[in-house]
Amino acid sequence: MRRPAVGVFDSGFGGLTVLKALLQLVTDADYVYFGDTARLPYGSKSVETVARYAVQAAHYLESHGAQMLVIACNTATALALDRITSAARVPVVGVVEPGASAAGLATRNRKIVVVGTEATVSSHAYRKALEARGLQAREKACPLLVPLVEEGWVDHPVTEQVARIYLGEAFSDGFHDADTIVLGCTHYPLLKPLLARVTPGHVKIVDSAESTAREVANRIQQLVAEAEGEERRRVPRLKFFATDSTEKFQRLGQRFLGHPIEGVEHVDLKE
């Protein structure tokens, strides 16, 4: 049996941080990545529209052999995971539950700060997932961080100052002693060194990209076991699809993936 294929979906580039974590943790699978770059950002769109786009992408990934889907987009996970799961014919993993679960394991005083985009924070998906685990949560929207990351300013003084302001507000008013912060946006792992400098020293940083990769690793073992007969390639095969400029995807995407991206195919999903 051939090696299992994992489909990874995002509205753009941020999900490549999830793919990066998967490539480090699960080498016995191949990967198909779909970036809906022509229709981002998802954060300004209705739940109905996000669900429709995400289900289209899920079906496209299934048609390219995906045996598991990773919704590597906090907005799509927060707004449409149930719709995607019911429409898909394969197992689906989102980024919110693994991030909340990892935060629950990391915290000592059960007080968590979540940083994310306006859409993710407005959905309260992380707060609900954390409160369901008996944890206190404060969510803080940090809308300027995504464009700064995409500009490549991951260690820029402007980005550091912006992050200090956001986190100063997040850790105020009864949450100054929160001991864990969840990165509820897949762009934010690129800012981890900077965020480690501007968060209080006692705070643990939970990266939902890494947490999601660990969840996939746990769930994919059976598929990997079924493929034991195949030659033991150590390097996964990668395919990339984007709905907008493939050149831009390659140029920007390598910042998130950590190495050059080859052979991106353009796809036009019809409404």
Active site residues: 73, 185
Residue 117: helix, strand or coil by DSSP? coil
Two tokens, residue 162: 């912006």
Two tokens, residue 151: 């500009």
Count the neighbouring beta carbons within 10 Å of the beta carbon of residue 161: 11
- Edge-to-edge strands of the sheet including 30-35? 92-94, 68-71, 5-10, 30-35, 238-242, 264-266
DSSP assignment of 204-218, as one string?
EEEEHHHHHHHHHHH
Closest by alpha carbon to 102, among 3, 205, 7?
205
> Could you tell me the CA-to-CA distances from 231 to 25, 195, 220, 236 in Å, in that order?
19, 41, 18, 12
Residue 63 corresponds to which amino acid? S
Residue 5: helix, strand or coil by DSSP? strand
Residue 221 corresponds to which amino acid? Q
Backbone dihedral region of 4: left (phi > 0), alpha (psi from -120 to 50 degrees) or beta?
A: beta
